[in-house]
């Protein structure tokens, strides 16, 4: 009984507190953690441009599930994630699958990352964030870059295609 209490107070409680605080912070910085289900990921993968000669980014990469499946297609991909526990979990999953050369995750705020280095951008935001994302994409992306948004549309861009709840845009 004492051992359970000690483990709980030294390990589980601090992790639970860090998780709760970080998730609360993500509501202020962007979207809170909600993992994409496999149907949405399949739709994202269907919307990827052909070939491997791309550089993809997942803005708010969660537990890495999208990154991993993009990297499994041979496309180099970087995830930016503000929740350290999710960064560590993703790195572990990437390493388990031997995808370290193609998939990287950085513990960073995506609003501070210049996007001009990427030609595929994957976003699972929230409705109230899409206008801010749109301005950032407009200012930073190269013409011809692909933007793939889950569930919420960019307010002023006309979409090029749609698969289920996933919207695909090509930057003019």
Ligand X SMILES: C[S@@+](CC[C@H](N)C(=O)[O-])C[C@H]1O[C@@H](n2cnc3c(N)ncnc32)[C@H](O)[C@@H]1O
Closer Cβ to ligand X, 66 or 141, answer by number = 66
DSSP the chain: -HHHHHHIIIIIHHHHHHHHHHHHHHHHHS----PPPHHHHHHHHHHSPSSS---EEEES-TTSHHHHHHHTTT--EEEEES-HHHHHHHHHHHHHTT-TTTEEEEE--GGGS--TT-SEEEE---GGGHHHHHHHHHHHPPTT-EEEEESS--SSSPPSEEETTEEEEE--
Q: Would you say 6 or 21 has its CB closer to ligand X? A: 21
Which of 9/109 has CB closer to ligand X? 109
The residues binding ligand X (CB under 6 A) are: 26, 29-31, 33-36, 58, 60-62, 65-66, 80-83, 86, 109-111, 124
Helix pair 84-96, 13-29: axis angle to 10 deg: 100
31 or 154, CB closer to ligand X? 31
CB of 157 to ligand X, least distance (A): 20
Which residue(s) pair with 150 in the sheet? 166
Nearest approach in angstroms of CB 164 to ligand X is 14
- CB closer to ligand X, 6 vs 84: 84
Q: What minimum distance in Å lies between the beta carbon of 129 and ligand X?
A: 9
Tell me the closest approach of the beta carbon of residue 170 to ligand X, in angstroms: 21
Q: How far is the CB of 13 from ligand X (least distance, A)?
A: 21
């Amino acid at each position: 009984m004492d051992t359970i209490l000690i483990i709980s107070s030294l390990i589980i409680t601090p992790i639970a507190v860090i998780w709760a605080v970080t998730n609360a912070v993500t509501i202020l910085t962007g979207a809170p953690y909600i993992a994409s289900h496999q149907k949405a990921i399949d739709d994202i993968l269907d919307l990827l441009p052909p070939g491997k000669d791309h550089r993809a980014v997942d803005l708010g990469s969660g537990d890495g599930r999208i990154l991993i499946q993009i990297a499994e297609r041979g496309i180099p991909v970087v995830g930016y994630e503000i929740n350290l526990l999710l960064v560590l979990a993703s790195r572990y999953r990437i390493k388990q699958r031997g995808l370290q050369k193609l998939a990287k995750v950085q513990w960073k705020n995506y609003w501070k990352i210049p996007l001009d280095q990427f030609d595929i951008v994957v976003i699972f935001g929230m409705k109230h964030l899409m206008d801010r994302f749109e301005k950032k994409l407009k200012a930073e992306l190269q013409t011809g870059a692909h933007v793939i948004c889950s569930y919420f549309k960019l307010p002023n861009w006309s979409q090029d295609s749609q698969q289920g709840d996933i919207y695909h845009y090509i930057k003019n």
